[in-house]
Structure 1
Amino acid sequence: MILRPFALLLPALIPSWNFFDVIAPSPRIEIARFAAPDDARAWHEFRPRPQRVSPLEMVRRLVWNPRWNETLFLVSCAERLVDHPTPHSEDEIFRRIAADLIREPGEPWLAFRLVFVSRQGEAIEREVLFEAQPRRLAELVP
C-alpha cells in the first residue's frame, strides 16, 4: 500500500537519462540595444553565467532559484525557435529580455539573436542561427 505512492514519486526524484531525445549544445541568447533600427549592433550575452558560485549559494540555489528557472524557459523557447520558428517563441523571448532591461538606462531599440557555440579541435566556432528583427523596448513591456 505504501510502496505504490513511492513508486510513482521515484521517477521524479531520479530522472531517466532517456529524458533527453538528443544531447546537443543549447543556443545562447545575445542581445543588443541601439538608437535606431539600422544602427550597428554590439552584441553581448543575455544573463551570462557567473564565473564562480560559492558553496552556500549553490545550496541556496537548490531550493530557490526562480531566475535560473526562467533562463531555462528562455533556452527552451530558443530551441523551439531554431527548430520550428513561431511568433510566440520570439515574443516570449523579447518580453523576458525587456522585463530585465526596461529599468536600465540605454538605447530604445532591442534585438536578440541565437548563437550556437561549439569546439572544433582547438578553435571555438560561433554560428548565428536566428536574428530577430529590432523592436522598440517600450512597446515590449505592458
Structure 2
Amino acid sequence: MIKTVSLILPVLIPSWRFFKAVEPSPRVQWAVGGSEQTQAEDWQEYQPRPQTLSIGRMLQRLFWNPAWNDALFVVSCAERIALGRTAHSINEIETRVRRDIHAAGKGGQAGTFQFRLVFVHHDDGQRVEDVVFLSDPASVGDPI
C-alpha cells in the first residue's frame, strides 16, 4: 500500500523541478493593414486575459475552458517560432488571428494583416517590448 501511495503522490502533487527552466513566453499581437513596404500599426493583443473574473466564472473555467486551451496552443506555436521559424506554427497562428480579426469586426477594413511575437520586460520601471518575429502580410480573407 505504501509503495502504491509513493507512486501516485508525485502525480497528485507535482514538483516544480519538473521544468528545467521557467522563461517568459512571447506574446502574440496582430494588426490589420501593412504591406511588403510598410509595417502595420495599431497592434492588439491576441485574446487578452480578462481584468477580473467572478468566483463562479473561475470555478467554471476550472472544468471547461476551450479558449484557454487554444491560447496555450498559440503560445506553444509562438515559442516554436521564437526558437526557429516553422511554417506549421506560422500557419496555425495566422489561422487563429484571422478568426480573431473577424470576431472583432475588423475583417472588412483592409485586405491584409500581420502578427508579431513580443517579449515584454521591465527596465528601470519602463515597459519594454522586444519584437522577435514579424510575419509577412497575409490576406484577411474569410475566417477558416
Q: TM-score, normalised by structure 2?
A: 0.83
Residues 35 and 108 of structure 1 are in contact (CA less than 8 Å); yes or no, is this contact kept in structure 2?
no
Partner of 1:136: 139
Q: Aligned pair 1:112/2:111, yes or no?
A: no
AA paired with 1:65? N
1:98-126 Cα deviation digits (max 9, x unpaired):
22333534322111000010012312111
Deviation at 1:11, TM superposition (A): 4.0
Partner of 1:62: 62
Partner of 2:26: 27
Secondary structure of the corresponding residue to residue 102 of structure 1 = helix
1:45-66 Cα deviation digits (max 9, x unpaired):
1111111111111111000000
Count of residue correspondences: 140
Classify 1:72/1:105 alpha carbon distance in 2 versus 1 (closer, same or farther; 3 Å).
same
AA paired with 1:117? V
Classify 1:11/1:20 alpha carbon distance in 2 versus 1 (closer, same or farther; 3 Å).
same
Q: TM-score, normalised by structure 1?
A: 0.84
Tell me which moved more, 65-74 or 91-100: 91-100
Classify 1:131/1:35 alpha carbon distance in 2 versus 1 (closer, same or farther; 3 Å).
closer
Structure 2: which 5+ residue stretches go unaligned? none
